[in-house]
Chains A and B, each alone.
Chain A
Amino acid sequence: MTGRGRLVPLLLAAGVVVLALGWVVGFTLSVGGLPSDPGPSSAYFVMVAVVGTVVAVPWAFATRMLWRDHRRTTPANQNDGPATLVALAVATLPAERRDWGLAMQAEVSGLAPGATRWRFALGCARAVVLVPRPLSRRSVGIGALVAALAVLAGLAGGAAVPGMGVLLVAVVGLGGAVLARSVRRPGGGRGAGLGRPVQVAGLLAVGACLGAIAYFLAHYPVAAAQLPPVVAVGVAIMLAGCGWLMIDPPRALVADRLVGWVAVTSSAVLAIGLLVLSRHRVATRTGLGDGILGYLYLVPSVVIFLVAAIAAMSGRSFRAGVRATVWICVLTSLLLFAVAIVEAVQWYRFDTRLILAGDGVPLSAVGENLRNFLCGMILLPVWWLPYGVIGAAAGGSLLHRVRGVGTGPTVAVRG
């Protein structure tokens, strides 16, 4: 094995460990930090180690599959460090800049290994960040309109629902910037082949999240303490980021209509499933002490695994399954957040419990619902993603066996 051949697996393993540790820290913060009385400390840290391992193992498999797919589908002179760096960078380019990305990749692959190749690759990565976005009268107009709307939204939202002001200003401002950015690029702003289903569902889901937060704060103004300006801006960045994905997705995530419909349908089914579960528990007064934690972690993981496998088989491509996974994760994260926050109001009203794990809490702590699920918007997709990648690989492998072609775990890649 070459030096580079040993280095990459080590780097990937280190990345998985860092991700798992980050996840455990994020989860700990989402439930309010370390318990004041964690009981026997050894048992507590064993639990943390188990959770970290449960996160790391699927990611280790998924990372290995993604890396193998990259190696298998990329010529030898395009899969070293500099070429991979450029490939990752240009994957974020919008479709209308695709030629420029290919141009950079071609140049890098023509250079001899060494410092020159690295320097040129780093320059290309920087160029991707600096992709020109010329201002037009239209985008300036949109910018001015967005600024005015942001101020109005802040004033109106803050007056109507205490705690919503900063969030609305930030969401409208960032969302407007995303819109202006896509409008001012030639060919931008039309989803670039993503398909209307994902775009419409995604933007509606972003709106549903905002509506759910407003609904929750309107019922429990005390929860505004969980949404200080810094957190509100962070939430706005997440929501605007999702809006950007819908309006102007990176080239690597552009999917066909089938994948779009699969993602929308799956995420809608998962959201409806959560709603039914919640209503059933409230109506029958059973399982309220368990919360919805089990559903959030287990059911989407299984559904995403299966759907990714089917998407990979129907699209005859491992990457089709991976794309479906990404879109399901994004949409499901948004929809489950909206459903859970709205349902949290019912749970607390009915039995003064938090919806996540069914803990009974005083009114002053009802805002923990918000903190739990705002963190969950990041933690849950990170939990689900590797299952989708593994599912995509399984679907590709199954297709190969059915067709009797080859023995590899993945199928030929089209996009």
Chain B
Amino acid sequence: MTRTRRPSAQTVAVLLALAESPETWRYGYELSQRLGLKAGSMYPILMRLADRGLLETAWESGPPEGRPPRHLYRLTGSGRTRAAELTRGSESHARSVTAVLRPGWEGA
């Protein structure tokens, strides 16, 4: 029902950010910093992407002592396809989205 609807600008930004390096596992705070998104916006987006099968999740192995393992995210095959579609379909839109969000993997 909602699959064909264009995702929000923030969702597109998350998808494109994850698609930049699709094999790399990312974690929540890192994505939040990278995109300048607040946790309150980012986690619901990640949940939706995972619900739709676009996002793969895993738990960090061997976290430092005293810190619980992080939840890690990367795009599934469908997610990469969707990100590619979004990039092809509206590159100008994607550029405008990324332009308003913080560029670059700062410290990632």
Q: Which residues of A contact B (CB under 8 A)?
A: 75-78, 97, 99-100, 102-107, 109-111, 119-127, 130-132, 134-137, 186
Bound complex: CA of A121 vs CA of B40, how far in Å?
Answer: 9
Contacts of B42 in A (CB 8 A): 123, 127
- In the complex, A102→B43 CA distance in Å? 12
Shortest CB-to-CB span from B76 to chain A, Å, is 16
A103 touches B39 (CB 8 A): no
Nearest CB in chain B: distance from A346 CB, A: 52
Report the minimal beta-carbon distance from B7 to chain A, rounded to whole angstroms.
12
Q: Which of B39, B44, B57 has the most CB of A within 10 A?
A: B39
B2 lies within 8 A of A110 (CB) = no
In the complex formed, the residue of B with least CB distance to A124 is B39
* Closest partner residue, chain B, to A99 (CB atom): B71
Q: Enumerate chain B residues within 8 angstroms of A110, measured Cβ to Cβ.
A: 29, 67, 70
Query: How many of B's residues come within 8 Å of A, CB to CB?
Result: 25
15 A-B residue pairs with Cβ-Cβ distance under 8 Å, sorted by A, are: A104-B28, A104-B43, A106-B70, A110-B29, A120-B29, A123-B32, A123-B41, A124-B39, A126-B40, A127-B39, A127-B44, A131-B44, A135-B1, A135-B2, A137-B1
Compute how far the CA of A105 lies from the CA of B68 in the bound complex, rounded to whole angstroms.
8
Within 8 A of A (CB), among B1-50: 1-2, 27-29, 32, 38-44, 46-48
Q: A107-B29, A107-B71 are in contact. List 12 more A-B contacts (CB 8 A).
A: A75-B66, A97-B47, A99-B71, A100-B43, A106-B68, A110-B67, A123-B43, A125-B40, A130-B44, A132-B44, A132-B51, A134-B2
The complex places the Cα of A122 from the Cα of B41 at a distance, in Å, of 11
Kindly count the residue-residue contacts between A and B in the assembled complex, taking CB atoms under 8 Å apart: 83
Closest chain-B Cβ to A189's Cβ sits at a distance in Å of 16
B69 contacts the other chain (CB 8 A): yes
B71 & A134 in contact (Cβ 8 Å cutoff): no
Give complex CA distance A105, B42 in Å.
15
Whether A106 contacts B71 by the Cβ 8 Å rule is: yes
Give the chain A neighbours of B46 by CB distance below 8 A. Answer: 100
With the chains together, A239 CA to B101 CA distance in Å?
44
Query: Of residues A102, A123, A136, A186, which shows the largest number of chain B Cβ atoms within 10 Å of its Cβ?
Result: A123
By beta carbon, the residue of chain B nearest A76 is B66
A405 to B13, CA, bound (A): 54
Measured CB to CB, the closest approach of chain B to A184, in angstroms, equals 11
B61 to chain A, nearest CB (A): 13
A99–B63 Cα distance when bound, in Å, is 16
Known: A135-B2, A186-B51. Contact between A124 and B43, CB under 8 A? yes
Task: Report the separation of the CA atoms of residues A97 and B39 in the bound assembly, to the nearest whole angstrom.
Answer: 16
Please state if B51 and A127 are interface contacts (CB–CB under 8 Å): no
Q: Which residues of B contact A78 (CB under 8 A)?
A: 68
CA distance A121 to B51 in the complex (A): 23
B2 touches A120 (CB 8 A): no
Which residues of A have CB within 8 Å of B51? 132, 134, 186
Q: Which 3 pairs between the two chains have the least Cβ-Cβ distance?
A: A123-B39, A126-B40, A103-B71
Residue among B1, B27, B28, B70 with the most chain A CB within 10 A?
Answer: B28
Provide the bound-state CA to CA distance between A407 and B47, in Å.
43
CB distance from A180 to the nearest CB of B (A): 14
Name A185's closest neighbour in chain B (CB-CB): B51
CB distance from B8 to the nearest CB of A (A): 12
Tell me the nearest residue of chain B to A111, going by C-beta. Answer: B29
Q: Interface centre among A124, A135, A137, by most B CB within 10 Å? A: A124
Q: Are A123 and B57 in contact (CB under 8 A)?
A: no
Tell me the minimal C-beta distance from A166 to chain B in angstroms: 33
Chain B residues in 8 Å Cβ range of A186: 51
- Closest A residue by C-beta to B38: A123
Instruction: Tell me which residues across on chain B come within 8 A of A105, comparing CB atoms.
Output: 68
> Are A107 and B70 in contact, with the CB atoms below 8 A?
yes
CA distance A43 to B40 in the complex (A): 52
- The distance in angstroms between the C-alpha atoms of A104 and B38, with both chains bound, is 12
Cβ–Cβ contact B48 & A134, under 8 A: yes
Residue of B at shortest CB range from A77?
A: B66
Contact between A122 and B40, CB atoms less than 8 A apart: yes
